[in-house]
Chain A
Amino acid sequence: MSFITVCCHINENSCFVNGETVLHKNEESPDSWFKQLYKELGIEYPKFYKMDMLSQGGFIGSEFIKRAKPDLISKYKDDEIALLFANSKSSADTDIRFKESFLEKKTPSPSLFVYTLPNIVLGEISIRNKWFGENMFAILPKFTPDFFVQYGTILLNTGSKAMLAGWLGISEGRVQVFMFLVETENTNGEKFDAENILKYSGL
């Protein structure tokens, strides 16, 4: 049996961990909303500034989940945490920016191009934590709890002991991030099923 042990929500102006508000956007701040969240984390990871919005969103969610679960890194081996992410629009925001770089600015930007794949966020989280586990990024027409339960259960039955999963809806100024941790060895959570995912997601 598996359990959802932590969840993190980020929308356009608030971030919640396990339903508790972590930060509201400061509209007066010169910093972007994701930069405000990064500063709230109090970590030093300059690579954050190089990431696109999709990677920044996934990265911040994963860091807040780690903060709520300080033993996450020590409890599992470096290949036991699977990453399963999805959204409906792939890397569309960055794709549009890259297209502008060669159409309007007349120079295709290599640092934008490398973010024009949705699974790059999985790489960023893996690099940050030195995780060598399973990865999958799927494109679905809409948030589908069944997909996470079905494929998540498969991952947890084929060698992974925990799973960091999430819906990364970040495009056209909208932010709809829902990330959650599923563990097999920790019963201190809610049962990992579609009903609970839907309930927690608020989507």
Chain B
Amino acid sequence: MDTLKEDLKKHIIEELNLEDLQVSDIDDDALLFSTEGIGLDSIDALELIVLMEKYYGIQVTNPDEGKVAFLSINTMADYIEKRKA
């Protein structure tokens, strides 16, 4: 699970061009879409959907599903585990 979270952070930084961030800057429970957290926006949310398919083979067909699943690294990791199970 921890490796999954680390990998997830690496992919997010790379795919979303968050060049000013390191893996260690992202807390597992930080809110990804809050300005207090990582400050991602609506295009980032769509790019996370692309990332889910590219690295984890998970298709998200309804962006609303993403809204709940992509709250934090923790919720994303849970979502991946559940979908893969």
User: Do chains A and B directly touch (beta carbons under 8 Å) in the complex?
Assistant: yes
Interface residues of chain A, those whose CB is within 8 Å of chain B, are: 35, 44, 46, 49-50, 107, 109-111, 114
Q: What residue in chain A is nearest B20 (Cβ atoms)?
A: A46
Assess whether B16 is in contact with A109, with CB atoms less than 8 Å apart: no
Whether B20 pairs with A111 at a CB distance below 8 angstroms is no
Across chains A and B, the number of contacting residue pairs, with CB separation under 8 Å, is 29
Residues of B within 8 A of A46 (CB): 18-21, 39
A110 touches B20 (CB 8 A): no
Chain B, residue nearest A44 (CB):
B20
- Residues of chain A lying within 8 A (CB to CB) of residue B54: 107
> Are A49 and B43 also in contact (CB < 8 A) when A107-B50, A107-B54 are?
no
For window 29-46 of B, CB contacts with A under 8 Å fall at 39, 43-44, 46
Do residues A114 and B43 form an inter-chain contact, with CB atoms below 8 A?
Answer: yes
Please indicate the chain A residues that have their CB under 8 angstroms from the CB of B20 in the complex: 44, 46, 49
A109 touches B19 (CB 8 A): no
Q: Report yes or no: B53 in contact with A110, Cβ–Cβ below 8 A.
A: no
Other-chain residue from A35, A107, A111, A114 in contact with B16 (beta carbon distance below 8 A): A111
Q: Chain B contacts of A44 at CB under 8 A? A: 20
Asked whether, in the complex, the Cβ of B18 is within 8 Å of the Cβ of A110, the reply is no
Cα separation A123 to B39 with both chains bound (whole Å): 19
* Complex CA distance for A110 and B18, rounded to whole angstroms: 16
Contact of A111 with B18 in the complex, beta carbons under 8 Å: no
A2→B53 CA distance, assembly (Å): 54
Residue B17 interfacial (CB < 8 Å):
yes
Nearest-CB distance from A57 to chain B (Å)? 16
Q: Which B residue's beta carbon lies closest to that of A115?
A: B43
Which of under 10, 10 to 19, 20 to 34, or 35 or more describes the interface residues of B? 10 to 19
Q: Which residues of A contact B50 (CB under 8 A)?
A: 107, 109-110
Contact of A49 among B18, B46, B53 (CB under 8 A): B18
Closest to A114 in B: B43
* Shortest Cβ distance from residue A8 to the other chain B in the assembled complex, whole angstroms: 23
CB distance from A55 to the nearest CB of B (A): 12
B residues 2-52 near A (Cβ < 8 Å) are 16-21, 39, 43-44, 46-47, 50
Instruction: Please indicate the chain A residues that have their CB under 8 angstroms from the CB of B44 in the complex.
Output: 111
Q: Which residues of B contact A35 (CB under 8 A)?
A: 19
Q: Which of A49, A107, A111, A114 contacts B19 (CB 8 A)?
A: A49
Most buried by B among A44, A111, A114: A111
CB-nearest residue of chain A relative to B46? A110
A110 neighbours in B (Cβ, 8 Å)? 43, 46-47, 50
Residues of A within 8 A of B18 (CB): 46, 49
- Give min CB distance, B11 to chain A, whole Å: 14
Q: Quick check: A107 and B17 within 8 Å, CB to CB?
A: no
